[in-house]
């Protein structure tokens, strides 16, 4: 461990970290382009030049390690190195580096997507010259190069920091990119006949400090300073990558990974990132609909739910009812489902449809829904994907499908055959899917990006999802639908409805209210849960009962009662 | 006529040479430059097929090989002419008239630096210092060095090339 005096301030530099890393860690800012915490160190951009006392020339902070000096050699009897980051010499060097970087730069900020979050712009204001000494014609380089399915490259804006190249070599290990030619003619390219098509390719646009790499799905969509950022979680697999959702006027413009060391690090996969593009193409219906004379017709909300409740509440034996749940449901939704099931059917039903797919060694997990871990905690039954749909539905009279498009890709005749014994088929989903079109009752729900909630990832890491855009009035989170239905139940007279006494409904409401109010990320849930996790290493063994002290109600016991 | 890449890669003698070069270095990937030279000596340039072959042999990404090939001016990834005419463009040669000489060669052959004549005979390139600063302008045709070359002298040299 070395002690360094940097601009008159003492910092500690560990043997395994560089000066830049140590400075950044201790809140001293040194400008840099090519350094990225998750990539190897190359010292390519020269932006982090600092003055080291005794060194013959300026050194790049990102490649400088600080050895501990023997006692008699220490500077001022104490320090191992003395650094200046704001001296005239350093400032002059920073101006010089920036001038070189901008020498052949087209200065096309008004049409550049990176403008507003561009390190060239930011550093030019802070460390650069307001004008260039370069009086000659600028060199031209390839523009609008299609590097791959998503990525577009502009060599004139590129500062050759090689972050994208190192990303492909070190993170995805696919090595598609390289620097070709030399000197001022250098630019990034792929090998002949190959393109940048790895599952994480868009991350190269994220880590590009300038506007050289942009991706087609966001290119020319919106100026970044108009975007409103909301933190949330990616729904596409059980990794639950932390994301930032950038919206503009109620529309999701892009999703970018948010640094979270215990979940996804700095990156996320392209598939998860482009979920916003996929949901844009999906059909939606905003009003609850009821099938009459063969046609699904929109209905007024209250009347609709009254008809639905009168037809399903305690009308069927639990053995005649199948409920298909989804790993897309948040903890709050799963919990409210249990309450709903208990009151409406008399016991807790439900099969969580377990959908798996391909995984890789980087981030993508094989479980293709976000909150399977949550469903495990809630003691719900799991059923493996599509081939078993038939077995779940077989012989049932009432089928409820929540947030899953269970008949996707199945022919209509086959669906009719599967549903032959079913009298009432209720579908609750954010989208008007193929399955929804076959239903007797369709309830539109808020989508993943339209509601609040919490979700557990595969490692039982709890994260909060946020309402990034507001859903239209008719589309509600599932817990709001349940809350509405339970309220209506108190108004309705239902035969054989004995368990749903007023007091019980009151306590259920309390449970739901705690869900809405509790901010789990700030509250005591996480530390408490870690204790449980340490005590019981196998996550499987953690049941709902363990969650009871925090207001997650256990079977047969409502926390409002005590 | 030189061999095609396919012929080269199926030539057992050539593969033996490759194996030998690979073993020459403590780390296999260090043999990259030697292998590239070997290929260029055999068929006068380094085609993409060979770059992919080397990538597989040395366990390096093909993109990286491309980076190396394009970095060095001495490597060609396109077929070059029978005679490679390299004209020095560094300061002392320029002062001694390299600019005029280059223009002369350019018009004489009807090609710009970096191009090859349609008959595949001559390739003209600019190079950095040929280490004959005292005897500029210097040019190098294949492995032969010519110094204090005037446009007239170049015409005489050209006549000798067949």
- Give the closest-approach CA distance of A211 to chain B in angstroms: 22
Whether residue B78 is contained in a domain is answered as no
Fold of A2-86: Ubiquitin-like (UB roll) (3.10.20)
Q: Would the CB atoms of B67 and A179 count as touching at under 8 Å?
A: yes
- Tell me which residue in A180, A192, A193 faces B67 most closely, judged by beta carbons: A180
CATH class entry, domain A289-553: alpha beta
Could you give the CA distance from residue B73 to residue B126 in angstroms, rounded to a whole number?
A: 9
**CATH code of domain A106-220:** 3.30.70.20
Q: Would the CB atoms of B62 and A180 count as touching at under 8 Å?
A: no
Both B102 and B142 in one domain: the answer is: yes
| Angle (nearest 5°) at CA A74 between A69 and A20 | 65
Whether residue B17 is contained in a domain is answered as yes
- Give the closest-approach CA distance of B50 to chain A in angstroms: 12
Q: Would the CB atoms of A191 and B63 count as touching at under 8 Å?
A: yes
* Helix or strand holding residue A120 (H, E): helix A119-127
Backbone angles phi, psi at A376, to 5 degrees: -65, -45
A2-86 shares its CATH topology with A289-553: no
Q: Would the CB atoms of A193 and B48 count as touching at under 8 Å?
A: yes
**pTM score, whole prediction:** 0.86
Please give the structure tokens belonging to residue A442.
Answer: 């369709």
Digits of tens for pLDDT over chain A (562 positions)? Answer: 899 999 999 999 999 999 999 999 999 999 999 999 999 999 999 999 999 999 999 999 999 999 999 999 999 989 999 999 999 999 999 999 999 999 999 999 999 999 999 999 999 999 998 788 888 999 999 999 999 999 999 999 999 999 999 999 999 999 999 999 988 899 999 999 999 999 999 999 999 999 999 999 999 999 999 999 999 999 999 999 999 999 999 999 999 999 999 899 999 999 999 999 999 999 999 999 999 888 999 999 888 999 999 898 888 888 899 999 999 999 888 888 888 888 888 788 888 988 889 999 999 999 999 999 888 887 788 877 656 788 888 889 999 999 998 888 888 888 888 888 899 999 999 999 999 999 999 999 999 999 988 898 888 888 889 999 999 888 989 988 988 888 887 777 665 555 544 555 555 555 555 444 444 433 334 444 444 444 334 333 444 444 444 444 333 333 433 3
Whether residue B31 is contained in a domain is answered as yes
Residue A246 burial (CB < 10 Å; 0-12/13-18/19+)? buried
Both B102 and B67 in one domain: the answer is: no
The partner residues of A444 in beta bridges, in order of sequence, read A429
Please give the structure tokens belonging to residue A384.
Answer: 């493996």
Q: Is A389 helix (H, G, I), strand (E, B) or coil?
A: helix
Domain-wise residue ranges, chain A: 2-86, 106-220, 289-553
Last residue of a domain, one of B17, B38, B71: B71
Peptide bond into A202 cis (omega under 30): no
Q: How many CB atoms lie within 10 A of CB B88?
A: 27
Both B152 and B90 in one domain: the answer is: yes
pLDDT in tens, B132-150: 999 989 999 988 999 999 9
C-alpha torsion sign, points A141, A144, A148, A150: positive
- Tell me which residue in A169, A180, A194 faces B70 most closely, judged by beta carbons: A180
Digits of tens for pLDDT over chain B (162 positions)? Answer: 467 888 888 889 999 999 999 999 999 999 999 999 999 988 889 999 999 999 999 999 999 999 999 999 889 988 888 899 999 999 999 999 999 999 999 999 999 998 999 998 999 999 888 999 999 899 999 889 999 999 999 999 999 887
**Exposed e or buried b for every residue in A287-325, given b needs 16+ CB within 10 A?**
bbbbbeeeebeebebeebbbebbeebbbbbeeebbbbbb
**Exposed e or buried b for every residue in A451-479, given b needs 16+ CB within 10 A?**
bbbbbbbbebbbbbbebbbebeebbbbbb
Whether residue B76 is contained in a domain is answered as no
DSSP 8-state secondary structure symbol assigned to residue B95: I
Cα end-to-end span (Å), chain A: 54
Could you give the CA distance from residue A309 to residue A307 in angstroms, rounded to a whole number?
A: 6
Number of structural domains, chain B?
A: 2
- Tell me which residue in A169, A174, A181 faces B71 most closely, judged by beta carbons: A181
Q: Which domain holds residue B95?
A: 83-161
- Tell me which residue in A174, A178, A193 faces B67 most closely, judged by beta carbons: A178
Whether residue B43 is contained in a domain is answered as yes
Whether residue B89 is contained in a domain is answered as yes
Both B14 and B43 in one domain: the answer is: yes
In Å, what is the CA distance from B74 to each residue of A51, B33, B69, B88, B131? 38, 11, 9, 13, 15
């Amino acid at each position: 461990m070395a002690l360094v005096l940097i601009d008159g301030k003492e910092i500690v530099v560990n043997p395994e970290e560089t000066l830049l890393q140590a400075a950044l860690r201790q809140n001293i800012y040194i400008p840099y382009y090519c350094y990225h915490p998750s990539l190897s160190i190359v010292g390519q951009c020269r932006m982090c030049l600092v003055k080291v006392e005794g060194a013959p020339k300026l050194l790049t902070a990102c490649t400088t390690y600080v050895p501990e000096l023997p006692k008699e050699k220490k500077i001022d009897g104490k320090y191992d190195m003395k650094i200046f980051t704001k001296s005239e010499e350093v400032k002059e060097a920073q101006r010089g580096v920036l001038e070189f970087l901008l020498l052949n730069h087209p200065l096309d900020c008004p049409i550049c997507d990176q403008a507003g979050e561009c390190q060239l712009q930011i550093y030019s204001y802070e460390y650069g010259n307001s004008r260039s000494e370069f009086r000659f014609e600028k060199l031209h380089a390839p523009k609008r190069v299609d590097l791959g399915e998503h990525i577009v490259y502009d060599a004139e804006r590129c500062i050759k920091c090689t972050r994208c190249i190192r990303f492909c070599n070190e993170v995805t290990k696919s090595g598609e990119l390289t620097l070709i030619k030399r000197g001022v003619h250098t630019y990034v390219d792929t090998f002949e006949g190959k393109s940048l098509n790895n599952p994480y390719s868009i991350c190269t646009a994220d880590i590009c400090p300038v506007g050289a790499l942009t991706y087609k799905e966001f290119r020319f969509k919106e100026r970044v300073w108009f975007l409103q950022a909301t933190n949330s979680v990616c729904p596409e697999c059980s990794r639950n990558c932390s994301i930032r959702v950038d919206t503009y006027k109620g529309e999701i413009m892009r999703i970018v990974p948010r640094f979270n060391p215990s979940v996804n690090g700095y990156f996320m996969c392209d598939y998860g990132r482009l979920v916003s593009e996929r949901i844009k193409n999906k059909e939606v219906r905003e009003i609850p609909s009821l099938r009459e004379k063969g046609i699904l017709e929109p209905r007024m909300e209250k009347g609709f739910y009254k008809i639905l409740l009168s037809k399903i509440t305690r009308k069927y034996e639990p053995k005649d009812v199948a409920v298909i749940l989804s790993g897309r449901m948040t903890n709050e939704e799963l919990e409210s489902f249990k309450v709903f099931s208990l009151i409406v059917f008399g016991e807790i039903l439900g099969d969580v449809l377990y959908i798996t797919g391909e995984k890789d060694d980087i981030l993508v997990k094989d479980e293709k829904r976000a909150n399977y871990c949550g469903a495990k905690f809630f003691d719900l039954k799991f059923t493996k994907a599509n081939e078993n749909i038939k077995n779940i539905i077989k012989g049932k009279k009432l089928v409820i499908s929540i947030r899953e498009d269970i008949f996707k890709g199945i022919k209509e005749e086959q669906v009719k055959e599967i549903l032959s014994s079913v009298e009432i088929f209720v579908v609750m989903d954010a989208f008007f899917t193929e399955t929804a079109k076959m239903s007797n009752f369709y309830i539109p729900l808020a989508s993943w990006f339209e509601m609040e909630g919490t979700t557990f990832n595969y490692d039982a890491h709890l994260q909060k999802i946020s309402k990034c855009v507001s859903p239209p009035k008719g589309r509600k989170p599932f817990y709001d639908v349940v809350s509405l239905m339970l309220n209506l139940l108190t108004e309705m007279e239902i035969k054989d409805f004995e368990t749903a006494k007023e007091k019980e409904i009151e306590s259920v409401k309390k449970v739901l209210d705690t869900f809405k109010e509790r901010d789990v990320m700030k509250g005591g849930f996480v530390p408490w849960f870690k204790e449980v996790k340490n005590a019981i290493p196998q996550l499987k063994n953690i049941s709902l009962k363990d969650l009871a002290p925090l207001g997650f109600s256990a079977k047969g016991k409502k926390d409002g009662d005590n | 006529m030189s061999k095609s890449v396919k012929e080269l890669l199926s030539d057992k003698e050539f593969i033996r040479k490759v194996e030998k070069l690979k073993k020459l270095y403590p780390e296999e990937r260090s043999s990259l430059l030697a292998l590239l030279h070997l290929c260029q000596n055999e068929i006068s340039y380094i085609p993409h097929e060979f770059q992919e072959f080397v990538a597989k042999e040395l366990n390096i990404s093909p993109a990286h090989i491309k980076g190396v090939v394009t970095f060095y001016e001495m490597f060609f990834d396109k077929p070059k002419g029978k005679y490679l005419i390299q004209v020095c463009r560094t300061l002392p040669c320029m002062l001694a008239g390299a600019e005029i000489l280059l223009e002369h060669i350019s018009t004489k052959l009807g090609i710009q630096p970096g191009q090859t004549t349609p008959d595949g005979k001559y390739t003209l390139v600019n190079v950095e210092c040929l280490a004959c600063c005292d005897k500029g302008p210097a040019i190098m045709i294949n492995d032969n060095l010519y110094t204090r070359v005037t446009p007239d002298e170049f015409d005489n040299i050209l006549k000798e090339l067949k």
